[in-house]
Amino acid sequence: MTTKPIPLQTRGIPASQLVLGCMRLGGDWNARSAITAEHYRQGREALDAALEIGINMFDHADIYAAGKAERVFGQVLKERPSLRGEIILQSKCGIRFADEEGPHRFDFTEGHIVRSVDGILERLGTEYLDILLLHRPDPLVDPEETARAIQRLKASGKVRHFGVSNMSQGQIRLLAAYSGEPFIVNQLEMSLRKHGFLDTAISVNQETARDNVFPEGSMEYMRLENIQLQSWGPLAQGIYSGRSLEGQSESVAATAKLVAELAERLDTTAEAVVLAWLMTHPAGIQPVIGTVNPERIRACKDAATLRLDREDWYRLYTAALGRNLP
């Protein structure tokens, strides 16, 4: 199958087909822990490996390592100021962990969103974000209030584009109806192991559909609206590309074996096969790889151009599904 432009590219945003997720930068998620020289070294090496294989887009969130992930990345950018104009920075806000003010919660209020973006920009050492994602649905959202935050951030030049993470088409449509700005990204968990985005489609009017939580119609809506689908967890935590299979199901073992066979036949890596399986889907899925190990990042290189034929794609899907298709 041929490689087609991803939705972000068709919108004039020169994003790479792979994104480096920066969640693992900065050490643990204890805000009191210091950032060490080792953390900065890790950040430099991860960035170098990503650039080496053509990645120019980097994904953050204000909660990652309690803000330390953004600080590490910001320091690397400070050391290479010319790089900012060559990369695309995306971050997220809306999740608030338990603190003196309340329990773990979601917050799409105007004040919280605006303050969060100011903090993100300070930590990254940049004047603007290319894309801001609202991280998880806030059941108490007032879409008019959220729209005010979006309009303020757009007018100030602090955020150029907006998107969401972990949302259904109905939740996106509600926000978009008030915001005056299109939501151009939806980041969801999708992988060869987390294949609910496919199961929803093939299980219509099937008994197997009852336990699937992936929102029906979401894939079709994103494609119709030219919304970039991003996949978090696309490598399935390495379960098909070298992680120990002890205690895993027969279907996991069978899928890992098939991935290895395809990698050998196609003269590539297991990581590239796992990602290519996602990227072969015609929706133009953009994987956000979560590793900051330079060698694993480099192992993903071929995924940008590798596409599976229909038969190999279905072989992998059926193996991961662990049963025959209906």
208: in domain? yes
Q: Give the tokens for residue 173.
A: 């449509």
184: in domain? yes
Q: What are the residue numbers of the active site?
A: 64
Residues 225-235, mean pLDDT to the nearest whole number: 97
List all residues 6 or more positions away from 51 whose beta carbon is below 8 Å from its beta carbon.
none
Residues 24-48, mean pLDDT to the nearest whole number: 96
Report pLDDT for 266. Answer: 97
Tell whether the model's pLDDT for residue 314 goes beyond 90.
yes
191: in domain? yes
Q: Which domain holds residue 201?
A: 7-243+280-301
315: in domain? no
259: in domain? no
What are 123-173's pLDDT values in tens digits?
999 999 999 999 999 999 999 999 999 999 999 999 999 999 999 999 999
Phi, psi (degrees; rounded to nearest 5) at 17: -75, -20
264: in domain? no
Tell whether the model's pLDDT for residue 213 goes beyond 90.
no
Report pLDDT for 123. Answer: 98
Handedness of CA 134, 104, 292, 121 (dihedral sign): positive
What SS3 state is found at 114? helix
Report pLDDT for 200. Answer: 81
| CATH number for 81 | 3.20.20.100
What are 244-253's pLDDT values in tens digits?
999 999 999 9
Tell whether the model's pLDDT for residue 257 goes beyond 60.
yes
This model's pTM is above 0.85: yes
Question: What's the count of helices (H) and strands (E) in the chain, helices before strands?
Answer: 12, 10
Report pLDDT for 36. Answer: 97
**2 pLDDT tier (thresholds 50, 70, 90):** low
Percent residues over pLDDT 90 in the chain: 90
Of 207 and 219, more confident? 219
139 burial type by CB count under 10 A (0-12 exposed, 13-18 middle, 19+ buried): exposed
What are 279-294's pLDDT values in tens digits?
999 999 999 999 999 9
Tell whether the model's pLDDT for residue 215 goes beyond 80.
no
* Average pLDDT over all residues of the chain: 94
Tell whether the model's pLDDT for residue 83 goes beyond 90.
yes
In one-letter notation, the amino acid at residue 239 is I
Number of domains present in the structure of the chain: 1
250: in domain? no
Tell whether the model's pLDDT for residue 13 goes beyond 80.
yes
256: in domain? no
Residues 288-303, mean pLDDT to the nearest whole number: 97
Q: How far is CA 217 from the centre of its chain?
A: 20
What are 91-125's pLDDT values in tens digits?
999 999 999 999 999 999 999 999 999 999 999 99
Report pLDDT for 208. Answer: 56
